[in-house]
Chain A
């Protein structure tokens, strides 16, 4: 679990059971590795420019916390609404929370395929040579 996910998980654990909590839990399961660095408010005040530049350079998210770590909402200097956080996760992974509902197991890709002639087992792709590439598809050129 990424630092980002761990940080959010602390909040989610304290959310009342319901649709919103389930959305968060699903989104976090699908969330890619997003690293988050928690910096103290003191450091942020002194070097906001370098924090911003670091975020742009590394792509890491930064959370600015008054006490150096975020374990209660009131300790966070900037608080995002749950909608904003879900949208953030979704935008990172192509609207994850919406696609979650229609995710299919990987092997579902095989469902529409039927076993073909056994003689094809050893058929392999051959490297396409330049001579074949030029006008290779006679019907096109």
Chain B
């Protein structure tokens, strides 16, 4: 049975609980025989999400008239995100960086990997995402993890990376 590593964007969407594809993937996981134990996140994912929400919170406080996301909404998001991370931490499913993952991360740092944002603009994959990918490639106990992430052409340029796109599973 394969085990899975959720990308930060997928975790971000799951926390919203708005029936986005990543959440539907998680719901469909039961029917595929997956257990909560089979699903992990990288140690950088809480940091990535907390940073994004802190940026949004700072903006909302500085520009209450124009912000798209009011302070109470962001605060609720932060609380819900922290509960979600606690759940993973309690069951030892946040995978820290060890020397093998660090070594793989070093390989990826030397690679130019390009993803596209929602507007179709190219951007270089940031180092935190490369940690996630390195974590999926090394996995746990020498069993690599399947990286659950929305489609990016750049995934194909990463040797040996197994990717599952939640949209594909949900469509089926």
Contact = CB atoms under 8 A, between A and B. Distances in A.
Interface of A: 30, 32, 59, 92-94, 99, 103-110, 112-129, 132, 136-137
Nearest 5 Cβ contacts at the A-B interface? A106-B29, A106-B34, A113-B17, A105-B30, A115-B17
21 contacts: A32-B1, A99-B37, A103-B37, A104-B36, A106-B26, A106-B38, A107-B30, A109-B14, A114-B80, A116-B18, A116-B73, A117-B69, A117-B73, A120-B16, A120-B73, A122-B118, A123-B12, A124-B9, A125-B9, A127-B123, A128-B51
A65 B141 CA distance: 28
Contact of B35 (A104, A110, A117): A104
Contact of A108 (B15, B36, B55, B69): B36
| Interface size range on B against A | 35 or more
Interface string B124-155: 11101100000000001111000000000000
A121 B17 contact: no
B27 interface: yes
A116 B76 contact: yes
Contacts of B80: 113-114, 116
Contact of A110 (B8, B17, B77, B126): B17
Interface in B100-135: 117-118, 123-126, 128-129
A124 B150 CA distance: 12
B168 interface: no
B39 interface: yes
Contacts of B128: 128
B36 A119 contact: no
